[in-house]
Amino acid sequence: MDIVGFLKSQFVCHLLICYIFIVSGLIINFIQLFTLILWPINKQLFRRINCRLAYCISSQMVMLLEWWSGTDCTLYTDPESYHKYGKENAIVILNHNFEIDFLCGWNFCERFGVLGSSKVLAKKELSYMPIIGWMWYFLEIVFCKRKWEEDRKTVIQKLLSLRDYPENFWFLIHCEGTRFTEQKHQISMKVAEAKGLPKLKYHLLPRTKGFAVTVQCLRNVVSAVYDSTLNFRNNENPTLLGVLNGKKYHADLYVRQVVYIFISFKRIPLEEIPEDEQECSTWLHKLYQEKDAFQEEYYRTGTYPAVPIVPPHRPWTLLNWLFWALLLLYPLFKLLINMINSGSSLTLASFAFVIII
């Protein structure tokens, strides 16, 4: 192992990275709190500011994937559609098989300049979580309780409020609702059998109501739906801990722009997706049958039938992290030196206790 790889695997380095993320995140959350005074005065300015503040948090996670672990991400897509990515609002359907698939989704948001404004449909409990959850609150993320009878009105209201959003955004959706496991897959296929739906081998049954409502509410605002399939070469199963340890992965993301019922490389406007909720649900089930067959082909051949493109790195994630590192590490080291010089065993023990926590 070289010296860089050795340092990346050390707990002290991980501790410093976590310290920078937590302290900078809480500082940004505190600043976001004060931006609330702008909401009744200039809502669009509030949104633009919070997009950039949110970028300061989420880009640190992307920095770990791109620069710390050096993970390679290759995009397979139609070259004619490639130039539209990042220049239009889109709903992005992601498979949910890996621990870091959300991070890879963020990575591609970053490559196309929509990371700060990207949206998700998230569990209500996450809104109470410091840093990420609070950041999402100020980004007007759509939170739900997973009880559709209670969620429907709230979700529709939040989605409709995004119709005048001033920044281009991608709305990332895991239609399966949860990460794929064999146990969940068995339960999901029992539901498919009970409903008379074709069984899937590599996906869970999609939850259609959230997707259908999202399409209805964002129609004429969102230009297209991107069907995205993420895989890792050599059957790798990446983890956040692996990324933190600097382990390099090779991610392949295939983006297909969706058409009515069948998938094509040709871009079709969102208006071609059925407006009726039931028809939209049927359409989504057909899409997942296509995704399942497509996944099986990938496992068989190890590649996608499209042009591979590596979107260029942008330096901003690294520069943002370096800014916060320089800002926060100096007072930390100064405090540590002062405590060592004080010679107080109680002070050092208290500091060690805080670090352990």
Write out the chain's pLDDT in tens, 357 residues.
Answer: 578 888 888 888 899 999 999 999 999 999 999 999 999 999 999 999 999 999 999 999 999 999 998 888 888 888 888 888 899 999 988 888 888 888 888 998 999 999 999 999 888 898 899 999 999 999 999 998 877 778 888 899 999 999 999 999 999 988 888 888 899 999 999 999 998 888 999 999 998 888 899 999 998 899 888 888 888 877 788 888 888 888 888 877 777 554 332 223 334 457 778 888 888 888 899 889 888 888 888 888 877 777 788 888 899 999 999 999 999 999 888 888 887 777 677 777 777 787 777
pTM score, whole prediction: 0.88
Domain boundaries, the chain: 3-318
User: Strand, helix or coil at 356?
Assistant: helix
**What is residue 257's predicted lDDT score, i.e. its pLDDT?**
55
Please tell me the number of Cα atoms within 13 Å of 9 on its side-chain side. 8
Evaluate the CA torsion angle 227, 215, 282, 266 in order and state its sign. Answer: negative
Please list, in sequence order, all residues whose beta carbon lies within 8 angstroms of the beta carbon of residue 7, skipping any fewer than 6 positions away: 13
**What is residue 178's predicted lDDT score, i.e. its pLDDT?**
85
- CATH 3.40.1130 correct for 3-318: yes
Which residue reads 């959003």 in tokens? Answer: 165
**What is residue 260's predicted lDDT score, i.e. its pLDDT?**
31
Please list, in sequence order, all residues whose beta carbon lies within 8 angstroms of the beta carbon of residue 280, skipping any fewer than 6 positions away: 208, 211, 212, 215, 216, 273, 274
Which residue reads 């146990």 in tokens? Answer: 183
The answer to whether 69 touches 191, Cβ cutoff 8 Å, is: no
Of 86, 74, 104, residue with least CA distance to 310: 74
**What is residue 256's predicted lDDT score, i.e. its pLDDT?**
59
**What is residue 95's predicted lDDT score, i.e. its pLDDT?**
83
**What is residue 33's predicted lDDT score, i.e. its pLDDT?**
96
The answer to whether 311 touches 111, Cβ cutoff 8 Å, is: yes
**What is residue 188's predicted lDDT score, i.e. its pLDDT?**
93
**What is residue 264's predicted lDDT score, i.e. its pLDDT?**
30
The answer to whether 108 touches 317, Cβ cutoff 8 Å, is: no
Question: 87 — phi, psi (to 5°)?
Answer: -110, 5
